[in-house]
Amino acid sequence: MTENPLHKFFQTKSMAIFGASASKDKPGFVIAENFINNFDGKTILVNHKGGEILGQPVYKTLEEVEGPVEAATIIIPAKYVPAAMEDCAKKGVKSVTIISGGFKEIGEEGIKLQQQIDTIAKEHDIRIIGPNCIGLFYPKRGLDMVFLPEEKLKRPTEGGISILSQSGAFGSAFLDIMGSLGKGNYLSKFVSFGNASDINEADILEYFGEDPETKIILIYLEGFKDGRRFIETARKVSLKKPIIAIKANRTEAGARAVASHTASLAANDDVTEALFKEAGIIRAYTWDNLFDCMKAFNSTLLPKGNQVLVITDGGGAGVMASDAIGLLGLELADLSPEIEKKMKEDLPPYFSVANPIDLTGSATAKEYLYALEQTINDPAVDSITFIIIPTPPAINVKELMEGLKPYAKSINKTVTFCAIGGEEALYIREELEQMNFPFYPTPARSVYGIGILTEYADYLRTHGQELPVIRETPK
Amino acid sequence: MVDTNKIPEPFATAYNEGRYFLLEHEALKVFESIGVIFPPNKLVKNVDEAVTFAKKIGYPVVIKAMSPKILHKSDYKAVIIGIDSDEALKNQFNDMESRLKKHDLVGILVEKQVKKGTEILIGMNIDPTFGPVVAFGIGGILVEAIGDVSFRVCPTTKERALRLIGEIKTQKLLNGFRGLPPVDRDALAEMIVQVSQLAIDLDKYIKEIDLNPVIANEDGVYGVDARIILKELK
């Protein structure tokens, strides 16, 4: 089997940065700074002006550099990129990421330039990511080509999620939000591939599929370079790890918008929809969907079936959750009779011990925790959505959160959480994120998380696969 | 000019005549060769042959005009269904022949009319992004109104085809609607696999396939109308 070309990009021991800049507001400075401060390999700064950046020497060409250079990041005006490529070729650089725009996406002149770099790459066995992209980010090694400064784009913490994004802006916004989620297991690897003159979506998906550090794959695509291989690769990868994808550019209006964006052609969306299903790809349609899926897969377990239990203190919230359960083809679980009987004996008679379990406005933290304790091991329940309306006077949310902490270590069932409200709901969210539990702002989204996990678990089961455990226990 | 000697029949004939589609009786032979079942049928040249064949297979029968000039038969009233006697067959046959002979009629296809059933579509087209894909959905005249079709990459497997059948929205129609028996999903899945394989085996020639309708009734699953559109030769 030939090695996937992405391997060399992520495991390179040295990185040359063409267009490293001393002006702080230039992307070439941000990237140079990222590498100097964080990269665990050798950083080589290149700029025809020479000089020094952050105390590091700047080479005019790679020829001046002693020892081998394996990879390069290019962020210089498009018309100089072919010369930089020639420089790389001479030095034996094999993995080049071209951040610069001004290629295929701008029309004829750019197409010619892109052809020029492709020709040089082919002649010298150089693999290219980009052009017109924001490149790679791999926090574990401090390999960070994202030219947006840390104070503007907070980098997410390390985890098992890998992202491939055709759009640089979408990708960086996603990273930014992920970064704002606070401590938790988030990012393994990020690739923005822009025009994909060489390495395309299918190559990257294959790499993420093989990569042991990647547990969840998130994808943003507008078009395909190699749709058939993408589907065939996804079919294999989805049996091992979940692939969640946005395929934008769904409508004709969208198709017009893309002509001037990453210059790709729209495919018939009905076919895309069907083939995603065939390949076991979980399709997200909106930004919210993508995040909701990410949280579900990252922070809870895959359910063994479609029986869902709702625990709440709000009748209305329970009804809305039940509606969502019906709409998504899930079922309200019937509690095992002995568990139901015991709960009825133990709880005040005005509580509704059915499904939803309604603890009413007089609920306390103790009763919430009691309901969870009784049902968490009920074999008749495959997943639980825990909906907290924190406003009733008797609930001490702090006590409730403390009581949930042991579950963060021991949980063996799918659980999603929802808190509706203001400040206390925000507090609950933060606490739950610390416990690596999936938090949702509405009952419907909390159930959607369960729905998407149930669907994927069902796909795995019907394809003869075991259910992987992705969630990491918080420290 | 491409050497059509190396092209298998009936494609060679079509290309030699400058046609980019197969006549239905030609398409039937292609489908029958891969195991798709059609009701008993025969291309006849005159009314006596038609009556003899109809007597053998039993009424009711359907007749269809075969002409290189006619791709969309409904535009020419080139299909007559529900013919239930020798006399009716003679009348309809003679009428069709006199109406359509000016369109280079190569013959008339006599086909046993199948019992009422659920009308299905199985097709294939070449998607610009994903290449050849096989389609399955609700067929007949409702195709465009309902638009309930799903797809798989060609070639596909039986498991995938069964999933495809389970994926369309109007499952009710497949499960036996208004007194019709439930469709034979297994037989349909096999037909989907056969069509998807045909698209790969003959990918030099075939651009699009339409089996619409396929009728699933109490006796089994039958192709009823078949169309194969050809690629231009390079």
Interface mutation target, options B126, B143, B153, chain A, most CBs of A under 10 Å? B153
Size (chain B), residues: 234
Q: Is residue A339's pLDDT more than 70?
A: yes
How does pLDDT run across A282-331, given as a tens digit for each residue? 999 998 999 999 999 999 999 999 999 999 999 999 999 999 999 999 99
Query: Which chain A residue has its CA at the smallest distance from B163's CA?
Result: A278
* Highest averaged pLDDT of the listed ranges A243-252, A276-285, B134-143: A276-285
Q: A227 vs B131: CB contact, 8 Å cut-off?
A: yes
How does pLDDT run across A71-107, given as a tens digit for each residue? 999 999 999 999 999 999 999 999 999 999 999 999 9
Query: Which chain A residue has its CA at the smallest distance from B159's CA?
Result: A463
CA B117, CA A462: separation in Å to the nearest integer? 30
Q: Bridge partners of B221?
A: B216
Instruction: Look at residue A250 and give its three-state secondary structure.
Output: coil
CA distance, residue B186 to nearest chain A CA (Å): 17
| C-alpha closest to that of A324 among A237, A466, A452, A218 | A452
Q: Do residues B121 and B139 touch, judged by C-beta distance below 8 A?
A: yes
- What end-to-end distance do the CA atoms of chain A give, in Å? 38
In order of start, what are the domains of chain A with their CATH numbers? 6-285 (3.40.50.261), 300-462 (3.40.50.261)
Distant-in-sequence, close-in-space partners of A63: CB < 8 Å, separation ≥ 6: A87, A90, A91
Query: In the structure encoding, which two tokens stand for residue A246, read together?
Result: 């946005």
* Amino acid identity at B223: G
CA distance, residue A6 to nearest chain B CA (Å): 24
Q: Which residues of A touch B128 (CB under 8 A)?
A: 265, 267-268
Of B153, B164, B167, which is closest to A228 when you measure between CB atoms? B153
Q: How deeply is A83 buried, as exposed, middle or buried, from its count of CB atoms within 10 A (0-12, 13-18, 19+)? A: middle
Whether B128 and chain A come into contact, CB under 8 Å, resolves to: yes
Element of type H or E holding A388: strand A383-388
* Amino acid identity at A259: A
Q: Is residue B105's pLDDT more than 90?
A: yes
CA A170, CA A284: separation in Å to the nearest integer? 14
CA A246, CA A286: separation in Å to the nearest integer? 7
Q: Which residues of A touch B130 (CB under 8 A)?
A: 224, 227-228, 231, 267, 271-272, 275
The residues on A that touch B, with CB distances below 8 Å, are: 223-224, 227-228, 231-232, 265, 267-268, 270-272, 274-275, 277-278
Q: B163 vs A278: CB contact, 8 Å cut-off?
A: yes
Query: In the structure encoding, which two tokens stand for residue B227, read together?
Result: 């169309």
Q: A274 vs B130: CB contact, 8 Å cut-off?
A: no
Q: Which residues of A touch B151 (CB under 8 A)?
A: 270-271, 274-275, 278
Q: What is the CA radius of gyration of chain A?
A: 25
Q: B130 vs A265: CB contact, 8 Å cut-off?
A: no
Q: B153 vs A275: CB contact, 8 Å cut-off?
A: yes
Question: CA B164: distance to chain centroid?
Answer: 20
Q: B153 vs A278: CB contact, 8 Å cut-off?
A: yes
Instruction: Look at residue A232 and give its three-state secondary structure.
Output: helix
Distant-in-sequence, close-in-space partners of A71: CB < 8 Å, separation ≥ 6: A8, A9, A12, A14, A15, A16, A93, A94, A95, A96, A97
pLDDT at position B1, please? 53
Q: B151 vs A232: CB contact, 8 Å cut-off?
A: no
| C-alpha closest to that of A359 among A419, A308, A318, A417 | A318
User: B118-230: which CATH topology?
Assistant: D-amino Acid Aminotransferase; Chain A, domain 1 (3.30.470)
Of B68-72, B131-135, B167-171, which range is least confident?
B68-72
Query: In the structure encoding, which two tokens stand for residue A415, read together?
Result: 């659980």
Q: How deeply is A112 buried, as exposed, middle or buried, from its count of CB atoms within 10 A (0-12, 13-18, 19+)? A: exposed
C-alpha neighbours within 13 Å on the C-beta side of residue A127? 16
What pTM value is reported for the model? Answer: 0.92
Q: Which residues of B touch A236 (CB under 8 A)?
A: none
Query: Which chain B residue has its CA at the smallest distance from A229's CA?
Result: B130
Q: What mean pLDDT do residues A34-42 have?
A: 96
- Does the domain made of B40-112 have the CATH classification 3.40.50.300? no
Query: Which chain A residue has its CA at the smallest distance from B124's CA?
Result: A271
Q: B130 vs A270: CB contact, 8 Å cut-off?
A: no
ipTM above 0.95, yes or no: no
Query: Which chain A residue has its CA at the smallest distance from B162's CA?
Result: A278
Distant-in-sequence, close-in-space partners of A458: CB < 8 Å, separation ≥ 6: A306
Of A158-172, A246-260, B140-154, which range is least confident?
A246-260
Q: What mean pLDDT do residues A368-397 have?
A: 95
Q: What are the phi and psi torsion angles at A443 (to 5°)?
A: -60, -40
| C-alpha closest to that of A129 among A182, A169, A74 | A74
* Amino acid identity at A313: D
Q: Which residues of A touch B203 (CB under 8 A)?
A: none
Q: A270 vs B152: CB contact, 8 Å cut-off?
A: no
Q: Which residues of B touch A268 (CB under 8 A)?
A: 127-129
CA A54, CA A36: separation in Å to the nearest integer? 8
User: What is the interface size between A and B, counted as CB pairs within 8 Å?
Assistant: 52
Of A12-16, A393-397, B20-24, B73-77, which range is least confident?
B73-77
pLDDT at position A149, please? 83
Q: A228 vs B149: CB contact, 8 Å cut-off?
A: no
Q: Is residue B61's pLDDT more than 60?
A: yes
